[in-house]
Structures are given as structure tokens and as C-alpha cells.
Amino acid sequence: MSLLVVGLSHRSAPVSVLERAALEPQARGKLLQDAVGAEPVAEAAVLSTCNRIELYADVEKFHAGVADLSTLLAQHSGVGLEELTPYLYVHYEDRAVHHLFSVACGLDSMVVGEGQILGQIKDALALAQELHTAGRLLNDLFQQGLRVGKRAHSETGIDKAGQSLVTFGLEQLAAGSASVEEWAYGKRALVVGAGSMSSLAAATLARAGVAELVIVNRTLARAERLSAALADERGDADFVRALPMDGVHEALGAADVVVSCTGAAGVVLTTEAVQSAVGRAERPRAAGLSVLDLAMPRDVDAGVHRIEGVRLVDIESLAEAEADAPMAADVEAVRAIVAEEVAAFGAAQRAATITPTVVALRTMAADVVAVELARLEGRLHGMDDKLRAEVTQTVRRVVDKLLHAPTVRVKQLAGEPGGAGYADALRELFDLDPQAVAAVSNPEQERP
């Protein structure tokens, strides 16, 4: 296993750098294709969220892999390599596994324990599978990461240790109120975007009892599907409506609460647009306009926070508000799960490396049995079918019994730390053809 992770997150880089380095969806595919085209890289997957960009790869050489992955991240993010390098972190082999499992459990999230990261990991794996950049290692890693994350949420109270980024952001806007529900009840809300984060925000506000909800999206059909689902859930078709993106300024003038997360490359709500909306508000706002920007790069111009009567909460202010030590017992329980799963994953990967050698050994033994039985039959022409079947079964049973204990034991030993050499020893002891072993590992190479 030569797993390598190179990336940056809210823990290693300022939001201003993360914002500039953010990858648009189409850029992620190109990054993966360029990554597997690099000489030391065999597999690649990219995990890109609002507060992290990480490139996972199976590499032949560590130093060459770090250099190539760092260069690719710089090229595709648009941030120069010299500027980006101080903010990059590198994890290798077991530490890389530990990192992904910790991320999957929400231990490395801006809000500890948030569960949205599982969906983002699932999306990262799906993209790598679609583009055929994920092989056995990354498929195993990400699928196991998803299982570890689900286990952490089901076996501990880590869900209560933090909230989703949406809930956390709304709580910052609602500071001083007893709850988000109390704060949001009866307000008029605008949600810009209809992706996973925006959909969660819309659902949260709908359940909190907002009086009106407008969903604006570049693709009107997606906004309409979301609004229809929320109307069905609440049993009220009149409180929610969908608009195309060109209706955002109209809706802004009537809103008390705005949540935006579009994934657009540029600013969606400018300072001038928000200032104009505040000036032509349909009725006075006792509490002003509350704006939550969950996009990376940002949807809302940073200058909005200087407008009187407007409160802006964005990724940067959420990072400053983070409390990283809630429910320490649950966090420690999740860390124990991660450590256990990392050890299990490493053992399974090490054991898997010897499987082709064991298969090649059993194949060689079967070939020897077949040759010897053919020679025996040539000498004993009078064997009837019953005797031939009995002799064949006996010889095969003897060989299977002789191989069973050593092959089971060698798999166990290979799964232990330092067990990588057992496959080589087995090949040497039985004089196995390296090409025969390789054919088991890569059967497609044998096809004409």
C-alpha cells in the first residue's frame, strides 16, 4: 500500500486561501485525469468541500508523488505553488488512512461531528469511479471510510457534539434567541441555490416555521422540485415558491433571512445589490437582514458586513466561532473507533497482498496433481471409473490438506505489521513464476 494524501483545509489555511483554491465541479474531473496521468500515480480521488481540498492517490514513490500532487493542486486551483505549499499537509500510508477516517467521522470538520461530510466522501468516490481513476485501494479506502463514519454516528453521541454547518451558521445568526426555531419563526427567507447544502438550509428553515420561503437557482427545475418537496412535507403549497436566478434581487428586497450556497465562481450578491435591497425593503425589519453565506468561494461580497442593519455570517466567521471541545467523551470514543478501524484496514490490505501468491501456489499444485494423475492413468490402463475417481479425490485431498495450514497461517502473518515479506518468501520457497502471480493480481492483462 502506497497511499498518499496532499491537501489543505480550514485547519491549515486561512479562508482567503481556501476560497481562491476552491475547485469547481468540472475542474475536479480534469484534476483526477491529470493525476492518474502523472508517472508515480496509479489511482486518484479528490475530496473537495467548502472547507477542504484533498487529493488522495496510490503512488509508487513518496517524494515524486508529493511533488506531482502538490503541483497539480496548484495548477488546478489557480493558486501559485510557492504560495500554496506552506498551507499543504501530507499524510502517507496508515496516517493517510487515519486522516480520511477522522474526516469521515466529523472529527476534522469545522463543526465537530457534522454528518454532511459522509455525502461529500460518497460523491468523491462516485466521481473517481465514473472516471475510472479509483482502483482497488481507493475503492476499499473510501468505502471503508463511509462505514467508519456511519459506525461513529451510530455508536457514539458525536452527532450531538456539533451540528451541521447549516445549523451552526443559523445558530450564529440567531445568537441571543432561545433556539433557531424561535428566531426563524414567522420570518421571510430566501435560499440561493438548490444543491445539498442549500436544500438542507431550506428544509431547516421550513421546519423552523418561516412564513415565506423563496428558492432561487440557476436551473429553475431544481428549485421547483425542492420547493414542491418542502410544500408536501409541510402540507402548505403557498408558503414556498421557486424563482430563476434573475429573480434573486426581487426576492432579496422582501427577505428577512438569506442563505446562499451556489458553488458559483464569482460573487452572487454584491454589496450594491444588498444595499439596494435594504433601502427598498417592503416593510421595516425589526432585527435587520440576516445573511448566511456557506459558499466557497463566497457568494456574498465581504463588504456586505459594513451595511447598517445587515448581519453577515460566512465561512470565515464560522471558523472563528468554532468551539472544538464539546462532549469530550464522545470525541474520544470516536477516536478509539478510528484507531481500531485503521488497524483493521491496514491488516486487511497487507493480507490482500499475499492472496495472489496463495492463489498462484494452489494453481501450481492443481497443475502438478493433474500431470501426475495423467501419468498414473497412463501406467494403469485397467482402472475403472470408480477407482479413477477415488484415486483423484484422494490425491487432491492430500494436497489440499498439506497446503491448508500454511496458506491460512501465511495470510494471518501477512496481515500483521511487517508481514509484507511473506509473499516474497512463499514465491521463493515454491519457485512460483512471478508472471503467474501477476496474472492473478491483474487478470485483464491475460486477455487477448
Query: Contact at 8 Å (CB) between 65 and 40?
Result: yes
The answer to whether 261 is a known catalytic residue is no
Strands 212-217 and 52-59: unpaired
Q: How many of the other CB atoms lie within 10 Å of CB of 226?
A: 24
Q: State the alpha helices, DSSP H only, in 194-268.
A: 196-208, 220-234, 248-252
Answer positive or negative: Cα dihedral of 38, 41, 46, 51. negative
d(CA 411, CA 422): 9
Nearest in space to 430 (alpha carbons), one of 354, 375, 333: 354
Active-site annotation holder among 5, 50, 88, 111: 50
Who's near 157: CB < 8 A, 6+ residues apart?
327, 330
How far is the C-alpha of 41 from the C-alpha of 33, rounded, in Å? Answer: 11
CA distance 209 to 228: 16
Q: What's 10's DSSP letter? A: T
For the residues of 83-147, what is the DSSP string, one character each?
Answer: HHGGG-EEEETHHHHHHHHHHHTTTTSSSTT-SHHHHHHHHHHHHHHHTT---HHHHHHHHHHHH
Please give the positions annotated as active site. 50
